[in-house]
Chain A
């Protein structure tokens, strides 16, 4: 029966199972945390699912199909037998992981920021006269023959 707190059937047991898979997809490595340690099974998954509600069914199926506990071989098999399910897991797990504030901080990625630009500032290619070299090399387009009858105005 569907848990009313988790209308998609993503109850705690399911999420724990998903987190084990997530750790195979995104293990701890050279200072980067594993997916479960940033809470992939909680808010991050919810956020990813809100952005991709179309992936709910594929994700549910894939988690249930995958051997538990999962291994890299089990995931490779899942990718071969159910590419849609595996694809959904990848997008939701990786998508959730890279939304994590902790992960973003470690990557020095603050999201797509709004920057103020100043086009009054002289670009280096003008200041250093780099552009003058391009101009100095002269035109590079081919000129079609001027007597071309088709190029006449109507």
Chain B
């Protein structure tokens, strides 16, 4: 393809946001995506084999899926398996579309709690971009949540919640605890050509209705209409530099295995918290022997994945507990902020979710399958009788949690695969234990006759953050507050890798707002931007 103004690597959440905004501003954009486009008709949610196919073809784990678009990840030294979807829309194709923001304190954890680092920007700076992203993604929710500063309401009214969720809301009022109708990037009404949600509950296996705000629905159609060029089956192996140390584009392997080069004036990396450090490390050169843009040594360090906890409440009443957006019907931020009385710092957000179909119940949400009469007992008590608090807790950065290149493992194009090393911290363990006990209290107060705290399991690495952190100091961070590399003037990282700390919420509202903010800045400073 002819040289572009801007090359974007990865067509997921952040890549789509940047592509659309740049195309709108008249830039010539090329996006290289290793995966393919997915026809929403291919999703299995409406078919009786959705749970079976969800364990392989539509699993979230690239190591199990093993599709042509995927690259393997060596997880032998990790407590958690990273999850993602590789294709147009990126991981938003499978995300649950829970759309909370970071809280103001998340940007200042060093100042407030003496741990980790402050972000080089504040909630107030990001707020306008959060609000614009809400409009772009078609977010449903209710304005006025006292867990956040005041601001614009979400563009769509909240999705319906089941009666049992109303019971939980009443219970929280009795306990004096926070709850709020869930904020989700799911259309509750017809919105910009998208159909409203039908509550099928299979969001994380692809939304066949097009109601969910995955960027193949929300951003790519506009971006391409505005002229962005999206190449699929194009796996980038290296970002190239000129003699002055400016990025000149990228080498990639096309669908037929041919090596190609895409030239561009500016390069934006949007390959997620694993794919981005992998690519920067693959792009090492004489000028950057430890990996591109890695003079700080922070590329691939501080991987954060949000160890995940769940508590299931079992109720006597019967309702179709498998239906409803998956997604969150309620969110609770009661235990989000640090309390010096507790034996951990920071906190967690809870999201209330349906519990899935019979096979999921049988195989166990915590991965402990049963058989024989115990199987029937489990399905009888869970299916139609259960609801789940999903707990996302702060995952403090640790420089020893890393993404590096594997010496042996390669992807289908022969490019070295990443290896991750990740240990769940003591703070996370204590935090999850405390939060799970409170979540069980919530469900019991709402009438659950039993609560089941599932053990923390491996397959929960939905959020891939922190491996090319932002900061003001080039000695300790990879990109500046505008997501621009400290080391390479015309190279930006715009995905979840730039997170300074993880917060205790699902990250994509923040990833999208940061990508939009970085893109706006690139547009504003176009005249002073150095190019090769």
Which A residues contact B (CB, under 8 angstroms)?
24-27, 29-30, 32, 47-48, 50-52, 54, 72, 75, 90-91, 94-95, 98-99, 103-104, 107-109, 111-119, 121, 123-125, 130-131, 133-135, 137-145, 148, 150-151, 153-154
Contact = CB atoms under 8 A, between A and B. Distances in A.
Contacts of B359: 94-95, 98
Interface in B110-147: 111-112, 118-122, 124-125, 142, 144, 146-147
Contacts of A107: 358, 379, 383-384
Given A107-B379, A141-B105, A144-B122, 14 more contacts: A29-B373, A50-B49, A51-B49, A52-B55, A112-B50, A112-B323, A117-B159, A123-B160, A130-B166, A134-B172, A138-B146, A140-B333, A142-B338, A150-B122
Interface string B152-181: 000011111101001001101100101111
A20 to B, nearest CB: 14
B357 A119 contact: no
Contact of A119 (B46, B52, B188): B188
A114 B46 contact: yes
Given A112-B46, A134-B173, A91 B333 contact: no
Contacts of A25: 371-372, 375
A151 B124 contact: yes
Contacts of A27: 372-373
A99 B189 CA distance: 32
B366 interface: no
Specify which of A29, A75, A140 lies most central, judged by the most chain B CB atoms within 10 Å of its CB: A140
Contacts of B336: 140-141
Q: Which 3 A-B pairs have the closest CB atoms?
A: A51-B52, A151-B122, A144-B108
A24 B372 CA distance: 6
B22 to A, nearest CB: 20
Contacts of A131: 142, 169, 180-181
Interface string B25-67: 0000000000000000000011011111101110000000000
A116 B178 contact: no
Interface of B: 45-46, 48-53, 55-57, 103-105, 107-108, 111-112, 118-122, 124-125, 142, 144, 146-149, 156-161, 163, 166, 169-170, 172-173, 176, 178-181, 188-189, 196-202, 209, 318, 320, 322-323, 333-334, 336-338, 357-359, 362-363, 369, 371-373, 375-376, 379-380, 383-384, 472, 481-482
Contacts of B157: 119
Contacts of A118: 160
A139 B199 CA distance: 31
A141 B147 contact: yes
B189 A119 contact: yes
Contact of A90 (B178, B179, B188, B363): B363
Contacts of B125: 151, 153
B371 A116 contact: no
Given A52-B52, A144-B111, A139 B146 contact: yes
Given A115-B323, A134-B178, A135-B144, A109 B358 contact: yes
A142 B111 CA distance: 12
B181 A125 contact: yes
Contact of B371 (A26, A52, A125): A26
A72 B105 contact: no
Given A109-B383, A117-B199, A123-B158, A141 B56 contact: no
A118 B196 CA distance: 10
A107 B381 CA distance: 11
A121 B502 CA distance: 37
B51 A98 contact: yes
B78 to A, nearest CB: 20
A130 B196 CA distance: 26
Contacts of A124: 163, 166
A48 B372 contact: no
B160 A113 contact: no
Nearest to B144: A135
A142 B180 contact: no
A112 B144 CA distance: 33
Contacts of A47: 48-49
Nearest to B64: A54
A26 B118 contact: no
A99 B48 contact: yes
B198 A140 contact: no
Contacts of B198: 114-117
Nearest to A92: B52
Nearest to B161: A123
A23 B65 CA distance: 30
B53 to A, nearest CB: 5
A19 B147 CA distance: 54
B334 A140 contact: yes
22 contacts: A25-B371, A27-B372, A52-B53, A91-B55, A112-B45, A112-B50, A112-B202, A115-B198, A115-B199, A115-B323, A117-B160, A117-B196, A125-B169, A130-B166, A137-B176, A139-B146, A140-B337, A141-B103, A141-B148, A143-B149, A144-B104, A150-B119
Given A98-B358, A117-B198, A133-B173, A143 B104 contact: yes
Contacts of A75: 371
A116 B359 CA distance: 25
Nearest to A139: B146
Nearest to B180: A134
B170 A130 contact: yes
Nearest to B45: A112
Given A27-B373, A94-B363, A109-B384, A114 B111 contact: no
Contacts of A104: 358
Nearest to B318: A108
A148 B112 CA distance: 11
Nearest to A138: B146
Specify which of B52, B170, B376 lies most central, judged by the most chain A CB atoms within 10 Å of its CB: B52
